[in-house]
Chains A and B, each alone.
Chain A
């Protein structure tokens, strides 16, 4: 397929995954801010800014960390590329570029999201109706995924689209786990009663709360959380699950000669697949995740070089 089309599909899927992440993160942070002890409230609200690396831009444009400012900044502000509004706009721009490769259903799911979002933005979003918008964002993301899964031919267009989804997802999981794990561990020392909520916030941010209950029961142990989100292949947002998909997809993509991206991905996949919690513990979770993030970044860059660069 055309390299430019592969690139647009890859980025389109990354952006749509990002929109869903933003909504989840913001949703959890706003809820947590309500139950958190007052001195931790600001830290709680700043999590989505840290994950997306937009703290500086936010300080410049808004300053005060309040729920309404966060909603304005992360949902609707078009002055920076990380808001849900900007992200969906970028996704639609990319979709427009590859319209020839998309099924009508996939195109419509994205175009409709864009049309509705413009309408939402026009009406404005406040604290009281924000959760409806979060639900909406998640639903649009599900519709897109369903349309892609249900209507696209299983060719390289589909594979590149899925690659974008899982690269973005692996990146997000590692970032959220890193930041929220640190916060929750800290609260274990400071406010033990509060810490249960911190752990559930981490799990909810990655849609893994039920998975945890199912796997480990009610008692939340820090290393169990890390194990679940890194090593468990059956948790959809775990690093293991993402890398398995990435390695598989690169295997399926038609490729002239052996490509470097494939080698890098297979090697990272093997590390996780045969990794264990002792290794992560010895290495230190933060160091482990920092290294992971650097490697996933390299894989993403290499995919673009191998298949999309000319």
Chain B
């Protein structure tokens, strides 16, 4: 049976169809496959993918659910395509943005130039709960703070990409990018024979290179530090450790002696030089952060301060990906690099500014309101989709702690055809490329595409029913 494909609603940018409902030139190779495909065959491929993912154990744990409850992140077979020219621009923009953010982090822990110049107020930096005063004047190799950054982008109805959020702490999801590609190649090898899709498989090699470059020692010992197998991203931690051929450790596998970090091995203590940590700042060291943390290593912070170990990412990077700092990133790029920002920011109103606040309060039904500290799609209001009760609830929250919130216009996230119950229909999506900073700034083409599976939904987070797609960056648009 031939597939029924719902066309996108008007006023929304669709990744596959243009405004006249014609397939975009960059997606031609998908046209035959998708439009003439047999529905039953594709349904069978979907089931096959499910079984394979279960077998691989690519499951995640949802917070608030029974421990041990393992769920699959829904994987959608229809890839999301990015043209070579779009990617060229994205790549340049991402490189520029992450460089500026690392410069900013160095600055706010050393010279405070940007504050002195009056671009950002001292209060906004120093009073930020993510600011780590202990990081001041600590010398880090190559002055790098965020070695691994995940930048969330969306495509607006003007066809342009906008940065929605920077993730500079422990961005996750890269294993899905890699496994989705592996799955697509396994299920549809013939598609890859026709389309010039840029490879992503070398990500673990680049990550390993980045982590080794984080230390100035020659041939440093690098480990991945995980909170353990009940963490929602444990699969990814194990996956990356295996792919890089390095140890996956938990806090209890490490100990500190004379301000040096060692792991407990079968042949005795072995010193660790670089820790790719997938544990939040506060849980890294019970002596310095949360005293109840069982995940961290007592004394790690002191060892870090002594310079005997490198953490990737550094401590205190959270201040730069905070939603209250986000509006200043374009200014940072101008300030540190003397360049015009290549990637756009979403216009943002800040609750802390009285004028912005009154605008937010007057326009709540049209705006998206976010907590400056929130993550994972929790603690946000999507005005146009909210009930009156939710809006009045947020009005109270905003009045009580205005500096806790920012607001943005409701963006029309672009859509892409996606398998749903009724067939194939447009669903909203975003994109998270992973940017690695070592000796140089590198990334693999593409990133993780997340898709909101509910009709009309704009929330792509996996914890709230989002799925993923393979992301195809074309090597060449002329085919």
In this assembly, does A99 line the interface, its C-beta being within 8 Å of a C-beta of chain B?
yes
**Interface positions of A from 72 to 104, Cβ below 8 Å from B:** 96-97, 99-102, 104
Whether B55 pairs with A308 at a CB distance below 8 angstroms is no
Using A2-B249, A4-B252, A99-B242 as known contacts, say yes or no to A308 and B266 having CB atoms under 8 A apart: yes
With contacts defined as CB atoms under 8 Å apart, how many contacts are there between chain A and chain B in the complex? 65
Using A108-B55, A112-B55 as known contacts, say yes or no to A4 and B250 having CB atoms under 8 A apart: yes
In this assembly, does B9 line the interface, its C-beta being within 8 Å of a C-beta of chain A?
no
Whether B242 pairs with A2 at a CB distance below 8 angstroms is no
CB distance from A37 to the nearest CB of B (A): 47
Whether B229 pairs with A310 at a CB distance below 8 angstroms is no
A96: chain B residues at CB < 8 Å are: 57, 229, 234
In this assembly, does A115 line the interface, its C-beta being within 8 Å of a C-beta of chain B?
yes
Counting chain A CB atoms within 10 Å of each CB, which of B235, B252, B253 scores highest?
B253
B453: chain A residues at CB < 8 Å are: none
Closest to B230 in A: A96
**Interface positions of A from 148 to 188, Cβ below 8 Å from B:** 156, 160
**Interface positions of A from 1 to 60, Cβ below 8 Å from B:** 1-6
Closest to B57 in A: A111
Cα A192 to Cα B20 in complex, Å, equals 91
Cα A196 to Cα B148 in complex, Å, equals 69
Using A96-B229, A108-B55 as known contacts, say yes or no to A6 and B266 having CB atoms under 8 A apart: yes
Counting chain A CB atoms within 10 Å of each CB, which of B237, B242, B265, B268 scores highest?
B265
Whether A2 pairs with B55 at a CB distance below 8 angstroms is no
Consensus secondary structure, chain A interface: helix
Cα A2 to Cα B268 in complex, Å, equals 9
Cα A3 to Cα B250 in complex, Å, equals 12
Whether B247 pairs with A5 at a CB distance below 8 angstroms is yes
Query: Contacting chain B: which of A227-235, A249-257, A265-273, A285-293?
Result: A249-257
Whether A2 pairs with B264 at a CB distance below 8 angstroms is yes
In this assembly, does B248 line the interface, its C-beta being within 8 Å of a C-beta of chain A?
yes
Cα A184 to Cα B242 in complex, Å, equals 50
CB distance from A2 to the nearest CB of B (A): 5
Query: How many positions in chain B have a CB within 8 Å of any CB in the partner chain?
Result: 25
In this assembly, does B267 line the interface, its C-beta being within 8 Å of a C-beta of chain A?
yes
Whether B238 pairs with A4 at a CB distance below 8 angstroms is no
In this assembly, does B41 line the interface, its C-beta being within 8 Å of a C-beta of chain A?
no
Select which of A100, A115, A253, A308 is within 8 A of B224 by beta carbon: A100
CB distance from B214 to the nearest CB of A (A): 20
Cα A6 to Cα B253 in complex, Å, equals 12
In this assembly, does B54 line the interface, its C-beta being within 8 Å of a C-beta of chain A?
yes
B56: chain A residues at CB < 8 Å are: 104, 107-108, 111
Select which of A1, A99, A104 is within 8 A of B247 by beta carbon: A1
In this assembly, does B263 line the interface, its C-beta being within 8 Å of a C-beta of chain A?
yes
Whether A254 pairs with B266 at a CB distance below 8 angstroms is yes
Query: How many positions in chain A have a CB within 8 Å of any CB in the partner chain?
Result: 27
Cα A112 to Cα B264 in complex, Å, equals 31
CB distance from B265 to the nearest CB of A (A): 6
Whether B54 pairs with A115 at a CB distance below 8 angstroms is yes
Cα A6 to Cα B241 in complex, Å, equals 16
Using A100-B242, A100-B248 as known contacts, say yes or no to A1 and B266 having CB atoms under 8 A apart: yes
Whether B238 pairs with A100 at a CB distance below 8 angstroms is yes
Whether B253 pairs with A2 at a CB distance below 8 angstroms is yes
B55: chain A residues at CB < 8 Å are: 108, 111-112, 115
In this assembly, does A307 line the interface, its C-beta being within 8 Å of a C-beta of chain B?
yes
CB distance from A106 to the nearest CB of B (A): 11
A115: chain B residues at CB < 8 Å are: 54-55
B250: chain A residues at CB < 8 Å are: 4
Whether B266 pairs with A100 at a CB distance below 8 angstroms is no
Whether A99 pairs with B238 at a CB distance below 8 angstroms is yes
Whether A256 pairs with B249 at a CB distance below 8 angstroms is no
**Interface positions of B from 195 to 254, Cβ below 8 Å from A:** 224, 229, 234-235, 237-239, 241-242, 247-250, 252-253
CB distance from B195 to the nearest CB of A (A): 26
Cα A102 to Cα B264 in complex, Å, equals 19
Using A2-B247, A100-B224 as known contacts, say yes or no to A256 and B268 having CB atoms under 8 A apart: yes
Whether B265 pairs with A3 at a CB distance below 8 angstroms is yes
Cα A255 to Cα B263 in complex, Å, equals 16
Closest to B59 in A: A111
Interfacial residues, chain A to chain B (CB-CB below 8 A): 1-6, 96-97, 99-102, 104, 107-108, 111-112, 115, 156, 160, 253-256, 307-308, 310
Additional A-B contacts beyond A5-B247, A254-B267 (13; CB < 8 A): A2-B253, A2-B264, A3-B253, A3-B264, A3-B265, A5-B248, A97-B229, A100-B242, A101-B248, A108-B55, A160-B266, A255-B267, A308-B266
